[in-house]
Structure 1
Amino acid sequence: DYFKQEAIEWAWELLTQEFGLQEDRLYVTIFEGDSWDNLNEDTEAYQYWATIVPKDRILKYGKDENFWEMGDTGPCGPCSEIHMDLRGDEDRKQKPGAELVNEDHPEVIEIWNLFFIEFNRYADGNLESLPDKHVDTGMGLERLTAIMQDKPSNYDTDVFQPLIRFLEEAFKVKYHENVTTDIAIAVIADHARAISFTIADGQLPSNNGAGYVIRRILRRGVRYGYQYLDAKEPFIYQLIEVLADQFNEVFPEIQEQKDFVGKVIKEEEQTFLKTLDTGTKLFNKKLKTMEGQTLPGKFAFELYDTYGFPIDLTRLMAEEEGLEVDEKEFTQELQKQKERSKQAAATEASDWQIINPDSQSRFIGYDETTAKVHITRYRQVKTKKKTQYHLAFNQTPFYAESGGQVGDTGYIWNEDEKIRILDTFKENKLIIHLAEKLPQNLEASFQAQINENKRVLTTNNHTATHLMHAALKEVLGNHVDQKGSLVNENHLRFDFAHFAKV
């Protein structure tokens, strides 16, 4: 029930009246329009701002600065930003702040963004006006804190100072005395805060997805401590106590889970410090023998592939030595590895040969262990060692591999022949049976029979994985999530996320 006028007025009121920011230091921006998208200037926003600030403080910018989109498609629209000039009076007299907005000046910064969601972009690039308009708004908490506390940077505010004071004491250094150590301290404080809240929210470090982002952030903090503060033992986990006390009232979860979060971080630190020590020694050894300003991509790949040393860290360390990584050679080595893996598992499949185009594959194995079937399609599959066949039936009692449980095996037979089914799996919605040979008569009917003993044993082990999951949650904690499993008639393997050895 509100849109541009109210959002603009409320933003200005909060910043100037509630927070007390100086009006003559503030500039606002609006969208100037775009001919490619046939979009006009956001005159509505301009008119509302013109009733509040002098027109020479209303600046117009194009799509790069003042049109926000979620992605290639979806809701989008113009935005209006509020910037603040933090320079001293003499600097402001020499050059107007309007000339420094959106110019990456460290003292002329954006502090607020009003995003007016009024269009929807389709896949063909066209825009359609939305029937309902919305406002999304964002403000830089740390930036605003620095302004209100009259501090030169975010790290000088009370948001970061407790962490920085702890690091000063731990490593016997002083913040603001050495640029290199200042950067290291700031990175560690920032990263420690980010990963602690995220872990407390339930996201553990891992090798994929969001977990990999957390692991990379943590490892970057560890590396800065290792390289610039001579931290050879885990230390970031010790900051959790500081964070827990500092944010107890606004985020009590960090206090409640501080022991758990600390254990997770310490375990990650110990693991990475070993990797870091090995990789750094190899890197420094290479520097003594190499010529030129380019670090061989083959060496960077060896660190990455053999020792688990992240390529982004190799790039950063090379840059700090005035070197650059041979990215082309690194990419070539990475591609070679992918090709080797692909060839090792290479399977050449022919096109499907259709026998009955109208027949659907139907699973009846929950109720039946044997059934009369006929083949609806087949194809030949070649690997390096053998030739086998994929068969699809009109109906099947064979369970296809799913949920970590391996597929059924068994036989199909008739009065003329008997053929072993070696495995069963799904491809899209099609249930495929791996056969050791192709039937002589593809249009004949067959009796399908699963290996019942194997099915029972496998099912029992599958049930055991669920019991194991429940037990792990009870013993280790609710953070334990299943990450995969392998269940067959002989054993089960249950993969789960935990921060330490069990």
Structure 2
Amino acid sequence: MRTAEIKRRFLAHFEANGHTVVPSAPLPAIEDPNLLFINAGMVQFVPYFTGQQTPPWTRATSVQKCIRTPDIEEVGITTRHGTFFQMNGNFSFGDYFKEKAIELAWDLMTRPQSQGGLGFDESKLYPSVYVDDDEAIGLWKRIAGLPDERIPRLGKSENFWSMGIPGPCGPCSEILLDLGPEFGEEGDFLNGDRYMELWNLVFMQNLRGEGTNKEDFEILGDLPAKNIDTGMGLERVAYMLQGVNNMFEIDEVRPLIDRASELTGKRYGASRPDDVRFRVIADHVRTGLMLIGDGVTPSNEGRGYVLRRILRRAIRAIRLLGFEDKALPELLPVARDCMSPSYPELSEDFERISSYAYGEEEAFRSTLRQGTTILDTAVKDTKASGGTLLPGAKAFELHDTYGFPIDLTLEMAAEQGLKVDEEGFRQLMAEQRRRAKADAQSRKTAHADMSAYRELLTAGGPTDWKAYETLNTESTVLGMLAEGSPIQVAKEGQLVEVVLDKTPFYAESGGQHADAGTITGASVSAEVVDVQRPIKGLVVHQVRVLKGELAVGTAVKADVDPEWRLGARQAHSGTHVVHAALREVLGPAALQSGSFNRPGYLRLDFSWRSKLSDESRSEVEEAANRAVRKDLPVAVKYMTLPEAREFGALALFGETYDETVRVVEIGGEWSRELCGGTHVQHAAQIGPVVITSEASVGSGQRRVEAVTGLEAFHYLARERDLVSQIADELGAPRAELPERISALMQRAKDAEKELANLRAKELRDSAATFAAQAKKIGDVAVAAVQAPDGTGGGDARKLATEIRGHLDPNKPGIAAVAATAGGKASLVVIVNKTGTAQGLSAQALVKGALSGRGGGNDEVAQGGGVPADQASALLQAVSAQVAGE
């Protein structure tokens, strides 16, 4: 029974019994700060179990996509660890409880397949229960007719369920399948592999507290209602019903192994190390597909880092099997075809998904080329000195300079029999973070010591800040700093920090850039280039003296550039408008996570799992401009933080606020945010809002950039001029430009394809000539060929195959092709069957030429990664080995 059919039957069974079919939640656990990914079927229903929200239904069923990564190193080593899996579940929210849950589960498990059930043999099923759950024991005996010896009582670690963190929990009953005596002793439910869990029925009735393991946690009390939460591992049931040995061999996964086997020439099942790599490839490519499909993109932190690590482990696994060309374009479409029967959106969105995956492989291939050489040298040096520990400094260099992840360094070093000085690596990483933090602070404070600021604050008191009230003030210079030290006089051309008794300048904060303007006196003029608040209560102006001398005690006039401030107000109010428009179009989940604005420009980061469609982007832009056209009123209110929350004002996640806060409204409840920035008085003053880009900036995070006011007019004018220029160049009306450009691009692609075909044909046609020129070394015909520059590994392999086809099959023959591309040389060796029968090995020849590197088998092998100028030397090394030199 195919996996998609098991899923269909499960949902149909519960829908027929009054359950609402609920779609799977996206894999990123955006709503739960305790989780990176959804790791159980019930996660999206937690608010209903805890009583925080009222469920829209009393019964639900779902097949939830899940990710678990704590055991990522175990993937492939065991046949039960996978990163992506699907959890069938049925849920009751205060409706039915133990009796109905057991009835529904037993019916589906044991009903014949011909009648829509799963058809498991009743005699092989054992429902375990929590040790003191007599009620469940009685129900199993009555409903399933099972004797006591078929219902094992197990302890808290086996039959009391929770997510591993504080939250809903309860005793459970697991339906176990007896796999037979070859897997362990009869009745031994705690050890061995004989009894496999297929379905866990959780009687969700308690709330747990903190704990360190499955048994060490406190029960805080009862949930508002007794609920049911069940979980049936779809992959586990699939491999039982499909008659295969493990989850890697079911219909949704095995085709990936088969394709990897075709690419590498290795056979699954032939050796344990290779089998582990095949399973890593299959699991990780499928997981990568599902993660990117749900909006996660590769990055260096959080969910994006998990995705990056998973994809890179898959890529490296297939390289270790001997395939060094781009692997994901060969494997990802296979994963798509396996999963799209259950998730058709994967096919619809495959262009986006594949672009992220293929881009990550390209980046990793570059990283490997550089980092592997450095690592190999470091390993060689460590071994030569008799050491067993790779220095932390070398691991840090690989990470910092070449982007080599530390986990990859650990794996590759372990394969060479070395450990890594992880403590030294972590110390260097910590030092780097401290330096980066100090550098960022120094750029904001001109390297001033904080004590100097505190002395200025103590001497002059808090700055009288007038940015909300006026654009100019009559002020006095209270103090100045140059390179961290107090000074009395700043001369022409000098860059210094100035503290005034009062100021109209807005200090950078809340995502708004600092004001620009001037500070002038009777005989001095200075330009304000930055304004910061290095410590609370003190506003510091970074100024460049343009004329005269600026001295402490001087009476000056502080003037904000009115055009600058107007642009800043437009951009900051525009940020609020775009945020409200995003939430209007996409829903409340599109919550701002960061922003930056300067005159005429804004960018806004927000939580969202996937790229905005062109339609959604246009709707957001229209909603923002509709608010501008309506000239929505802008109001500022002060209130306590609890009052603001009750008022419905949005706060930026991660920010800290005083007890009294400033709330900025645009159009009343349409936009209410806690904000300390400067704003327009009416929305129409923002001017047009034009979204210029939308892109991913990390796991579950998107970024929109936009321009406002005059910058928006300028942007549209440039776009108009560009379109006019293209139309003139093509001699076509503007309305026809998309079709004309598309046609030109297609012609270019066709030409590139034709060139590629001609090149491939040229290589094929040359194969006979190369074979005829083969040199005899003893009784072996060796065709050693250096391919034209730019020949990829795939073309080199095809050429070698063609050459072998022209060699006399009745005599031992070798086709060796060296190719150069991207500054590196690669080697492909193919031995005909007569040659392998006489003991020749393509793999041995490649490894001999490449000092142990490369992979393949006796017939076909390849390797590379050495400098391009060594191509001819690789061919000479092959010939020398054949000659026995």
Letter in 1 for 2:188: E
Distance change (3 Å), C-alpha of 1:337 and 1:61:
farther
- Offset of residue 217 of structure 1: 0.9
1:294-329 CA-to-partner distances (Å, cap 9, x unmatched) read 332232222222211111112122333333222222
Which residue matches 1:312?
407
Which residue matches 1:265?
357
Letter in 2 for 1:99: D
Q: Secondary structure at the match of 1:8?
A: helix
Letter in 2 for 1:146: Y
CA distance in 1, matches of 2:350, 2:509: 40
CA distance in 1, matches of 2:464, 2:159: 53
Which residue matches 1:6?
100
Which residue matches 1:256?
348
- The answer on whether the counterparts of 1:364 and 1:395 sit within 8 Å (CA) in structure 2 is no
| 2:123 pairs with 1:24 | yes
Aligned residues, how many? 462
CA distance in 1, matches of 2:519, 2:134: 74
Q: Percent identity?
A: 32
- Offset of residue 341 of structure 1: 3.2
Greater shift in the superposed pair: 215-224 or 193-202:
193-202
- The answer on whether the counterparts of 2:475 and 2:500 sit within 8 Å (CA) in structure 1 is no
CA distance in 2, matches of 1:345, 1:319: 37
Letter in 2 for 1:129: D
Which residue matches 1:132?
225
Letter in 2 for 1:349: M
| 2:562 pairs with 1:452 | yes
The unaligned stretches of length 5 or more in structure 2 are 1-94, 112-116, 212-217, 443-448, 488-495, 544-549, 572-597, 604-620, 622-688, 712-885
TM-score by length of 1: 0.75
Which residue matches 1:65?
158
- Offset of residue 283 of structure 1: 2.4
1:304-360 CA-to-partner distances (Å, cap 9, x unmatched) read 222111111121223333332222222222233334334445665356968999999
Distance change (3 Å), C-alpha of 1:472 and 1:409:
closer
Which residue matches 2:392?
297
Letter in 1 for 2:140: W
Q: 1:285 aligns with which of 377, 385, 401?
A: 377
- The answer on whether the counterparts of 1:349 and 1:382 sit within 8 Å (CA) in structure 2 is no
1:169-211 CA-to-partner distances (Å, cap 9, x unmatched) read 2222222122222222221111111111222233222223322
Distance change (3 Å), C-alpha of 1:420 and 1:193:
same
- Offset of residue 144 of structure 1: 0.7
1:94-137 CA-to-partner distances (Å, cap 9, x unmatched) read x11x3243x4x455432222233322346796602122222222
| 2:505 pairs with 1:406 | no
- The answer on whether the counterparts of 2:471 and 2:562 sit within 8 Å (CA) in structure 1 is yes
| 2:435 pairs with 1:340 | yes
Question: Where do 1:282-431 residues align within 5 Å?
Answer: 282-289=374-381, 290=383, 291-345=386-440, 348-350=449-451, 364=468, 369-370=471-472, 398=506, 400-403=508-511, 405-410=512-517, 423-424=530-531
Which residue matches 2:140?
49
- Offset of residue 482 of structure 1: 1.6
Q: Secondary structure at the match of 1:150?
A: coil
Letter in 2 for 1:407: A
- The answer on whether the counterparts of 2:288 and 2:311 sit within 8 Å (CA) in structure 1 is yes
CA distance in 1, matches of 2:120, 2:465: 69
Larger radius of gyration: 2
1:2-29 CA-to-partner distances (Å, cap 9, x unmatched) read 1222223322222222212233333333
Q: What is the aligned-residue RMSD (CA, Å)?
A: 4.6
Letter in 1 for 2:222: S
Which residue matches 1:481?
702
CA distance in 2, matches of 1:78, 1:363: 60
- The answer on whether the counterparts of 1:364 and 1:397 sit within 8 Å (CA) in structure 2 is no
CA distance in 2, matches of 1:357, 1:127: 50
Letter in 1 for 2:344: P
Q: Secondary structure at the match of 1:99?
A: coil
CA distance in 2, matches of 1:64, 1:360: 62
- The answer on whether the counterparts of 1:243 and 1:254 sit within 8 Å (CA) in structure 2 is no
CA distance in 2, matches of 1:7, 1:324: 51
1:278-303 CA-to-partner distances (Å, cap 9, x unmatched) read 22222222332222433322322222
CA distance in 1, matches of 2:97, 2:233: 21
Which residue matches 2:207?
120
| 2:304 pairs with 1:196 | no
Q: Secondary structure at the match of 2:506?
A: coil
| 2:374 pairs with 1:153 | no
Letter in 1 for 2:123: D
Q: Secondary structure at the match of 2:177?
A: strand
1:353-398 CA-to-partner distances (Å, cap 9, x unmatched) read 6899999989637xx53479999xx999997677998989999662
CA distance in 2, matches of 1:99, 1:179: 28
Distance change (3 Å), C-alpha of 1:282 and 1:412:
closer
Letter in 1 for 2:102: I
CA distance in 2, matches of 1:27, 1:215: 41
Which residue matches 2:625?
none
Q: Secondary structure at the match of 1:19?
A: coil
Which residue matches 1:498?
none
Letter in 2 for 1:398: Y
TM-score by length of 2: 0.45
CA distance in 2, matches of 1:357, 1:120: 52
Distance change (3 Å), C-alpha of 1:211 and 1:67:
same
CA distance in 2, matches of 1:264, 1:315: 26
The unaligned stretches of length 5 or more in structure 1 are 33-40, 491-502
Distance change (3 Å), C-alpha of 1:160 and 1:126:
closer
